[in-house]
Amino acid sequence: MKWINTLKLLFLFSIFNISNAQNYYLYVASESDDTVSLLKFSGKNIEEKERISVGSFPTEIEGPHGITVDPNGKYWYVTLAHGNPFGKLIKYSTETNKVVGETTLGLFPASMQISKVTGFLYCVNFNLHGNMKPSSVSVVDAETMTEITQITTGSMPHGSRISSDGLKQYSVAMMSGELFEIDALSLKISRKLDLEDHSKMNHDKMNMGKMKHSTVKPTWVIPHPTQKILYVAGNGSDEIIEVNLDSWKITKRIKTEKGPYNVEISPDGKYMVATMKSVAKTSVWDLKSGTLVKTFDNSTSVSHGVAISSDSKYAFISVEGIGGEPGIVDVIDLKNQVLVDKVEIGKQAGGIAFWKKEI
Amino acid sequence: MKFLKLLSLSLFFFKIGFSQDKMIVSDLDNLTLNLGEIFKPVSKVILSDGSTGDCMNIIYYNKKGVFSSAKSITFDRSEGTLKANEPGTHEIVAVCIDSQGKRLSKTFNVNVNYPKIKEIKLSINDENIYIGNYVKLIYEITDELDNKRMVDYWNYENASKYFSKVGVTLSSSNKKVKIDESNNILAAEEGKTSIVVFFDGVSAKIDLEIKMNPVVKLDLTSDAFNARSGDVINFSATAYDRKNNELENIPFEFSFTGKSFDKSNSASGLILEDGRFVGDVPGKYIISAKIGNITTSKVVNIFPRNVKREISNVGRGIVNDRHTSDFWIFEGVDGGDYGVTGTWGSDGTAFFWDVSNPSNLKKIDSVQVDARTVNDVKVSQDGKICIISREGASNRKNGMIIIDISNPRDVKIISEYTKNLTGGVHNIFIDNNHVYALSNGERYYIINIDDPSNPYEVGMFELNKEGQSIHDVWIEDGIAYSSNWRDGVYLVDVGNGIAGGSPSNPVSFGNYSYDSGANHATFPFKSKSTGKFYTILGDEIFPNGVNPNGTNETAGFLHFVDFSDLNNPIEVARYELPGHGSHNYWIKDDILYVAMYTGGLRVVDISGDLLGDLYKQDREIGYLLTGSPNGYIPNDTMVWGAQLYKGHVFYSDFNTGLGAAKVSSNKPDNSKTNQYIN
């Protein structure tokens, strides 16, 4: 009889554990493998649940670059950078990981996000090819998968992120050193900010006409979830730039390791996490105190993207690798500031998007 | 429990009572606009009780998107207006965002009127119309915006689509002609008549004179009585009047019927208006020439082409730890025979091979560069320089790598060149001291490599149009043949002199495109047997996209375009292998060596005049399936390219690496295939 009671206790204990076990799911694009990996993290271990081939030409590299999940978690979207010549946006069901729609975008469509208000997806057309010229942000109705318009911004736009109220889209132009704010409803540029003083630069020898060039080389922008500020990664100037959204002025420049690339802020607004592409590291700041908490060595070279779990507990870092090396996703426990686990995926792991937390 | 039921019921009715259906209503609904008209739509949200709902912002867009091909309706978002640019029915989506950030959308059909027809002109090319002949009417239609469209007798597929939209009726002034339900006009009786055409309220008239057929006798001659399948026979008809005088300018109509020698097969072929005939299938064919009710015929026998030969695999250089891409076989500076192969979706490696003994292909060196795909590899004519393309470089600069291969057993990287090539180089070509390198699939740059350690750009060629796209470039005799997907092949003078071009001043002088828009490769071909000049344009199509779990389905074919008249290229033939698509190919001595991806390496006789369906004509000499149990994907044939070199057909296969095959002079052993034939 005693052993039956013990079994009952064990059963209850296991039920308790199961009910408290939380799994985290995310999607990561591997640009040089034409694959997207669905990853599951248990809180201790991360594993690849599925590797999905994307694209339509088995013998051409189509380059899945940006990835995002819609606000209700029903669909994920990936951009294919290379096309004929325009890239594509492909929509997949999170239930089946099968294609449900697609549309053509501009040259080298890259990062993107969906506004919870308009339901539109705002995607930068990175266009890093040849002579630098202004590119655009494509606006797509994710419901009908129609590209509604292309809004011309700066040269090599990157880092499309939406404000938490869903009403503004922000991107930076890497080669012209500008920050753009687009009104998500009017689909027009509402504000633009030079991230450096272009008047002191001599462009005479660059044969670029009226085109600006940048030493800051901004690659990412992330608005704070609750405060009227945003942060820009200065990939060329090794800094993260804080911009006040009310005054639309730069309020702080935070020096970083070499080559900050992607930046994200935890949903609770506590942590800022940035990849340092050039040195294969990831830095974490406490935004309340404004201090750098820790810089992690990533598991391979060329640190790329950041996704943070909805409960603000974990940061997932995509790391590209070089040549034939696999891409890797590192998991950082933000509370304890430790690297928890890693998983190998396809080559040149880049775009990364958190999907859901599940009990 | 009762209480709970009551509660849930009351909640249900509470919900019904307070939730209202809502919809967008708009003056866009079934709106009809004229071409060029600007319209400012007014839309609002209406609740089910008829009251107006919350719609803080409304956004309109064209469901076709914004790409150049979809600018049928465009929007001026500052003014809140739309403009009708193309006739037809267009779907316009209205998205309403309320003050709570919730969206509602509805699609409206907007009709844009075809511009009214202003004028129609009717004409015919035939000088004489004889009883019994059809009148080949040509319509020139000018609309109120002065757009002109020509509809001729032979493109009735397009004409019928247009006619069904604008509504067309034909009538005649008397019974000298008969007009059928498809608007074909048959000359029936001698005399004068008028044809009146009504297009959407606009009419046009043409007066015709139907003549008695002066022909009482026809002679039909040909340059052959017996031929092989695929051979073109030229028929010529001569007409005589009652006095046995030869008549000029007679609009003969040629046709044929036939029976296959093989009872279970169908005779098939093609005959053109000028009397050229080709039989696809061995059999007896009756060729007829007709003028009015006078006909004459001639019988020709089409015999088997009989070109089948044995093709055997001689040697393999298996690469089974990654995919293989393009390759090149060359004579080294030491007189030995060598090869280079690229790799796909891997670690940026290119392999060098000793192929002096095709039955023993030996890997002798390799280079690894910062890339994931080395899609293309080319070698200079003198065998000293190899250039490999880069895609997927970790710094995304890509470009190309120049390699010293004076000693193929110890190759050395000389330089890297990335200027303007950051988007990835998919294909390259070396012609004398210049490299032609594709940039991001949009254009090609021409780079001088006199000093391979200091390459520099001298020129660039692009179509200079929105959505320009390019997949390959091939140079021969100072002419660059670029394959530009939907824009087809462009012939560009880069030193030939035909159009005054040079590497620093590339000048386009010829173009041909076709409907599928899948032009992926082009090879110039001067027929040794006929002297005719063709460009052979290849498709690349994966109709079902990527299949990660097995063999990929491929489609598309080779288009043979007679480019003898640069200003009037004519597509005359195709090589289409049922169920398999084309990739890269090579031509030597009127023989085509083509990689048909999943269909294997195919060797095809393209001698003589080319007309019609070359596969049906049994011109195929033989084939080789290149999959291997030891392949990267076992037993999965996926041939990438082919090259004839010193009597052997070398090939690269996506899954197996490099291989060498031999076309034998022996006919294949059909004893097992035909074991039941007496």
Nearest to A39 by CA among A18, A58, A67, A61: A67
Task: Tell me which chain A residues have a C-beta less than 8 angstroms from the C-beta of B75.
Answer: 149
CATH number for the domain formed by residue range(s) B311-663: 2.130.10.10
Q: Residue B236's Cα: distance from chain center in Å?
A: 33
Quick one: pLDDT at residue B383? 97
Q: Give which of A61, A122, A318, A325 to mutate to test B binding, by max B Cβ within 10 Å.
A: A61
Residue B11 has pLDDT above 50, yes or no: no
Going by C-beta distance under 8 Å and a sequence separation of 6 or more, which residues neighbour residue B305?
A: B228, B229, B230, B231, B605, B617, B618, B619
Nearest to B273 by CA among B294, B250, B292, B247: B250
Q: What is the band of B675 on the pLDDT scale with cuts at 50, 70, 90?
A: low
Q: How many CB atoms lie within 10 A of CB B180?
A: 10
Residue B46 has pLDDT above 90, yes or no: yes
Nearest to A230 by CA among A257, A256, A254: A254
Fold type of domain B217-303? Immunoglobulin-like (2.60.40)
B586 in contact with A at a CB cutoff of 8 Å? Answer: no
Q: Do the beta carbons of residue B105 and residue B93 sit within 8 Å?
A: yes
Structural domain spans, chain B: 22-112, 117-211, 217-303, 311-663
Average pLDDT of the segment spanning B297-314: 96
Spatial separation of the C-alpha atoms in residues A241 and A250, rounded to whole Å: 7
Residue B669 has pLDDT above 90, yes or no: no
CB contact under 8 A, B67 and A147: yes
B165 in contact with A at a CB cutoff of 8 Å? Answer: no
User: Per residue in A59-79, pLDDT tens?
Assistant: 888 999 999 999 999 999 999
Q: Where are the alpha helices (DSSP H) in chain A?
A: 2-20
3-state DSSP of B355-415: CCCCCCCEEEEEEECCCCECCCEEECCCCCEEEEECECCCCCCCCEEEEECCCCCCCEEEE
Q: Give which of B55, B58, B59, B640 to mutate to test A binding, by max A Cβ within 10 Å.
A: B59
Q: What is the band of A8 on the pLDDT scale with cuts at 50, 70, 90?
A: low
Q: Nearest 10 degrees: CA dihedral of B162, B166, B170, B171? A: 180
Q: Nearest 10 degrees: CA dihedral of B46, B52, B56, B59? A: 30
Spatial separation of the C-alpha atoms in residues A308 and A357, rounded to whole Å: 11
Structure tokens at B291: 């003028």
Spatial separation of the C-alpha atoms in residues B355 and B336, rounded to whole Å: 8
Spatial separation of the C-alpha atoms in residues B303 and B228, rounded to whole Å: 5
In whole angstroms, how far apart are CA B497 and each of B429, B556, B566?
A: 19, 34, 15
DSSP state of A117: T
> Left (φ > 0), alpha (ψ -120 to 50) or beta: where does A326 sit?
beta
- Provide the 3-class DSSP secondary structure of residue B165: helix
Q: Residue A144's Cα: distance from chain center in Å?
A: 24
User: Per residue in B544-567, pLDDT tens?
Assistant: 888 877 789 999 999 999 999 999
CA atoms in the 13 A half-sphere facing the CB of B23:
10
CB contact under 8 A, B392 and A58: no
Residue B280 has pLDDT above 90, yes or no: yes
3-state DSSP of B33-80: ECCCCEECCCEEEEECCCCECCCCEEEEEECCCCCHHHCCEEEECCCC
Residue by residue, DSSP assigns A208-258 as: -TT----SS-EEEEEE-SSSSEEEEEETTTTEEEEEETTTTEEEEEEE-SS
The more confidently predicted of residues A129 and B229 is B229
Q: Give A20 to chain B, closest Cα distance, Å.
A: 31
Spatial separation of the C-alpha atoms in residues A183 and A2, rounded to whole Å: 68
Spatial separation of the C-alpha atoms in residues B73 and B90, rounded to whole Å: 8
Nearest to B27 by CA among B4, B52, B44: B44
DSSP state of B174: S
Quick one: pLDDT at residue A320? 97
Residue B4 has pLDDT above 60, yes or no: no
Residue A14 has pLDDT above 60, yes or no: no
User: Per residue in B433-450, pLDDT tens?
Assistant: 999 999 988 999 999 999
Quick one: pLDDT at residue B71? 84
Residue A10 has pLDDT above 70, yes or no: no
DSSP state of B146: -
User: Per residue in B617-645, pLDDT tens?
Assistant: 999 999 999 999 999 999 999 999 999 99
In words, the CATH class of domain B22-112 is: mainly beta
CB contact under 8 A, A188 and B392: no
B117-211 placed in CATH 3.40.50.970: no
Structure tokens at B134: 């059809």
Q: What are phi and psi of B540, to 5 degrees?
A: -135, 115
Least confident of A10-19, A101-110, A274-283, B391-400: A10-19
The more confidently predicted of residues B20 and B113 is B113
Residue B20 has pLDDT above 70, yes or no: no
Residue A20 has pLDDT above 80, yes or no: no
Spatial separation of the C-alpha atoms in residues B59 and A188, rounded to whole Å: 12
Q: Give A143 to chain B, closest Cα distance, Å.
A: 10
CB contact under 8 A, A130 and B547: no
Residues 471-510 of B with CB under 8 A from A: 471, 485-486
Fold agreement between B117-211 and B311-663: no
User: Per residue in A326-354, pLDDT tens?
Assistant: 999 999 999 999 999 999 999 999 999 99
Quick one: pLDDT at residue B21? 87
CA angle A335, A341, A342 (to 5 degrees): 130
Select the residue of A33, A84, A320 nearest B394 (Cβ to Cβ).
Answer: A320
Q: Give B96 to chain A, closest Cα distance, Å.
A: 8
CB contact under 8 A, A34 and B546: yes
Quick one: pLDDT at residue A205? 54
Cross-strand bridge partners of residue B363: B353
Quick one: pLDDT at residue B151? 83
Quick one: pLDDT at residue B292? 87
Residue B96 has pLDDT above 90, yes or no: yes
3-state DSSP of B637-677: CCEEEEEEECCEEEEEECCCEEEEEEECCCCCCCCCCCCCC
Q: What is the band of A200 on the pLDDT scale with cuts at 50, 70, 90?
A: low
Structure tokens at A46: 């991360």
Spatial separation of the C-alpha atoms in residues A23 and B317, rounded to whole Å: 47
Q: What is the band of B331 on the pLDDT scale with cuts at 50, 70, 90?
A: very high
Spatial separation of the C-alpha atoms in residues A101 and A307, rounded to whole Å: 24
Quick one: pLDDT at residue B423? 82
Residue B257 has pLDDT above 70, yes or no: yes
Q: Give A17 to chain B, closest Cα distance, Å.
A: 33
**Mean per-residue pLDDT of chain A:** 92
Spatial separation of the C-alpha atoms in residues A40 and A33, rounded to whole Å: 20
**Mean per-residue pLDDT of chain B:** 92
Quick one: pLDDT at residue B677? 55
- Provide the 3-class DSSP secondary structure of residue A33: coil
User: Per residue in B460-503, pLDDT tens?
Assistant: 999 998 889 999 999 999 999 999 999 999 999 999 999 999 99
Quick one: pLDDT at residue B534? 98
- Provide the 3-class DSSP secondary structure of residue A206: helix
